[in-house]
Amino acid sequence: MTSQLTYPDWIAVDWGTSNLRVWAMTSDGEVLARNGSEHGMSDLAPDEFEVTLLSHIAPWLGRDTTPVIACGMVGSRQGWAEAPYRAVPTTPLGQSHAAPCKDSRIAMHILPGLKQERSADVMRGEETQIAGYLADAPDFDGILCLPGTHTKWAHISAGEVVSFQTFMTGELFDLLGRDSVLRHSIGEGSALDQEAFAGAIADTISRPEAVATQLFKIRAVDLLHGADPAVSRARLSGVLMGLELAAARPYWLGQPVALIGTPALNTLYKKALMAQGVEPSVHDADATTLRGLTAAYNELTC
């Protein structure tokens, strides 16, 4: 945690399933200090949220009440307090929900997620990144792809989220790589063979019905001929990515696409999309999250 010289005007919080990130902010969006940990929503009981947050931000608090603007799974049914979903089509940011606080030094405001009724889907946290992106590009009309454990593809038009679709690609990669027979072939690490990655994407897009057998071939090739773990890992990643791109084709085909994610995931998705003739713009998830939380703070105080 960086040193604190002055008290912040407000505190930004991104609280997901696995991680907590907090920033001390000025009213004009300057970051004074930051902190974080792996104390995500999944590790906490309802009565532990406030204590956990205070342990991360206590040095930033004075005698007055400091507004806290939070997004993510902290607003789920299992979180600090439920912030009900808002139905699309709608603007990404909605009215925040006040959460009860025992400590008078903070006033907690949780942003609601989005839901899609017709083709059932939900998001929490990504709507704030979308709001942050649109704060810089209010006239954007196209597709935002937000890579992650559960990747979101969102159609944006006239400042609204029109529709969206979620893919469990990241979680499937983790489950198959950790708990399936493929764990013996992919090993540990993050290196991917780029040629194998691109080839697996192309094969899967052309024959998505063969995914189950293509996955086992990763193990079979390793057993019969030996394979570099980086190649096996790339094949697994490429098969799953190809399956996602095949299903998401109505979103990215013929549309401007912007990626909002971590540098590593942005790089993977950009390579996959460029192989399909799409050249997306790339944007950092942390930066768009902060811009979205700042926009929510401005709406709260205006």
pLDDT given at position 4: 45
Give residue 276's identity as a one-letter amino acid code: Q
What is the pTM for the complete model shown? 0.93
Length of the chain: 302
Q: What is the pLDDT of residue 80?
A: 96
Mean pLDDT for the chain overall: 95
Work out the pLDDT band at 5, boundaries 50, 70, 90.
low
Residue 187 is predicted with a pLDDT of 84
Confidence of residue 46 (pLDDT cuts 50, 70, 90): confident
Instruction: Answer yes or no: same fold for 10-124 and 166-284.
Output: yes
Spans of all domains in the chain: 10-124, 166-284
254 pLDDT above the threshold of 60: yes
Class of domain 10-124 (CATH, top level): alpha beta
Over residues 262-288, the pLDDT tens digits come to 999 999 999 999 999 999 999 999 999
Fold classification of 166-284 is Nucleotidyltransferase; domain 5 (3.30.420)
The arithmetic mean of pLDDT across residues 30-39, rounded, is 96
Q: Where residue 302 falls among pLDDT bands split at 50, 70, 90?
A: confident
- Cβ(144)–Cβ(188) below 8 Å: no
Q: What is the pLDDT of residues 99-152, one digit of tens each?
A: 999 999 999 999 999 999 999 999 999 999 999 999 999 999 999 999 999 999
Query: What does the pLDDT read at residue 2?
Result: 46
